[in-house]
Structure 1
């Protein structure tokens, strides 16, 4: 654990240095946030039936999505890890006295955390002071906010576990682009990053609720907005913890199996 914490701190410190990139990302995320909200506002203005989620809750959903994008996006990648696998330099990782799974997990976790620390606070702060209907409201009470923080952290741990499965799949496919496309496109859609889960048709929701992806983004954001009641949120946090343990277990097994078949040629 000491080695993993050292790697985590080093990568976190390194990630916090990219402030210019963070400013560009903030501008981009504000642009997309306004565009998405305008689309939903137009959609709601012509609705003839009661929507499954209110416009205010949906606006909150969008701003949280933009603020914590680094926490929840599956296409967030570390090209260095892809190169280690595809070029054979994984041999150097195998020489380290620490497990590869824990080492890579610490790296990926620190990268996402550093990116979110630079971007989330400015976006959330501005979203709180925007004019209506673009303003994001505060949580209904402190307990709801604590539930949101707990679910967001568990969602982050889950998304890193899912990302680890993506990197492990490259040992088999040797195609980072293919693995990234498969996990990124499918995973983010099922997480509610394209269409919020409450707005999906019922048959698709039944599929989404079985899979782990929605627990990384959709669940924390709806907890904050109050769309998910506190009692249901407590049960959901327990389910998140179970999914996290399952994903880490699967990842470790998959990593061990992949490494047992690794062949590195050359000097």
Structure 2
């Protein structure tokens, strides 16, 4: 465990060096946050039926998306791992005195954490200082804030476990393009990144509830705004843990199967 913690720490420190990329990312995320909120404000102002999600909750939902984008985006990738698999340098990974799954998991987790640390606080600060209706509100209670922090971190672990399946699939496809496109399009849609899950038609919501993606973004963001009650949030944490265990189990089994049939050419 100490080896994986050290890898995570080193990758986290290394990721903090990319400040210029973080500044560019903050500007982009603030811009898209304003655009999305303006679109939703326009729709809400013309709506003649009760909204399934109050506008202040929706505004908080959008700003949390932008602030913690590194936690929840599926197109976030480590090209080094892809090159290890497709270039044959996976042989060096097999020589390490540690598990490949845990090693890669720690690397991916640290990269997402370092990217989010550099961006989330400035974005949230701007969001809290904006005028209405763009202003982001506080959670309804300290308990809701604590549950949000727990669910967000569990969602981060779930998204890394899903990302591991993308990398493992490259052992068979030998090209990351297809896996990245499929997972990112489907995953981010059902996570509520395009349309918040409460605004989807009923049948699409049922599909989203049956998949693990909404537990990475939609669930913690709605816990923050109080749309999901505390009792339901506690049950949701249990579901997150079950999904995390299932995804890690499938990932470790798939990686073991892939490594048993891997062929490294060259010398």
TM-score normalised according to structure 2 size:
0.99
Q: 1:13 matched to which residue of 2?
A: 13
Instruction: Write out per-residue CA displacement over residues 64-108 of structure 1, whole angstroms, 9 at most, x where no aligned residue.
Output: 000000000000000000000111111110111111000000000
Give, in whole Å, the separation in 1 of the partners of 2:125 and 2:261: 49
Alignment of 1:74-223 (within 5 A): 74-223=74-223
Q: Deviation of residue 48 (structure 1)?
A: 1.1
Q: Deviation of residue 126 (structure 1)?
A: 1.0
Unaligned stretches of 5+ residues in structure 1: none
Give, in whole Å, the separation in 2 of the partners of 1:112 and 1:230: 27
Instruction: Write out per-residue CA displacement over residues 22-66 of structure 1, whole angstroms, 9 at most, x where no aligned residue.
Output: 011000000000000000000111111101001110000000000
Give, in whole Å, the separation in 1 of the partners of 2:76 and 2:92: 24
Give, in whole Å, the separation in 1 of the partners of 2:152 and 2:252: 23
Give, in whole Å, the separation in 2 of the partners of 1:162 and 1:245: 11
Give, in whole Å, the separation in 2 of the partners of 1:206 and 1:247: 20
Q: 1:52 matched to which residue of 2?
A: 52
Instruction: Write out per-residue CA displacement over residues 101-142 of structure 1, whole angstroms, 9 at most, x where no aligned residue.
Output: 000000000000000000000001111110000000011110
Q: 1:37 matched to which residue of 2?
A: 37
Q: Deviation of residue 2 (structure 1)?
A: 1.2
Give, in whole Å, the separation in 2 of the partners of 1:88 and 1:58: 46
**Is 1:242 equivalent to 2:227 in the alignment?**
no
Please, what is the CA RMSD of the aligned residues?
Answer: 0.6
Give, in whole Å, the separation in 1 of the partners of 2:134 and 2:189: 24
Q: 1:28 matched to which residue of 2?
A: 28
Q: Deviation of residue 191 (structure 1)?
A: 0.6
Give, in whole Å, the separation in 1 of the partners of 2:88 and 2:217: 34
Secondary structure at the aligned position of 2:210 is classed as coil
User: What is the count of residue pairs matched by the alignment?
Assistant: 267
Secondary structure at the aligned position of 1:209 is classed as helix
Choose 226-235 or 113-122, whichever is displaced more. Answer: 226-235
Q: 2:262 matched to which residue of 1?
A: 262
Q: Deviation of residue 147 (structure 1)?
A: 0.3
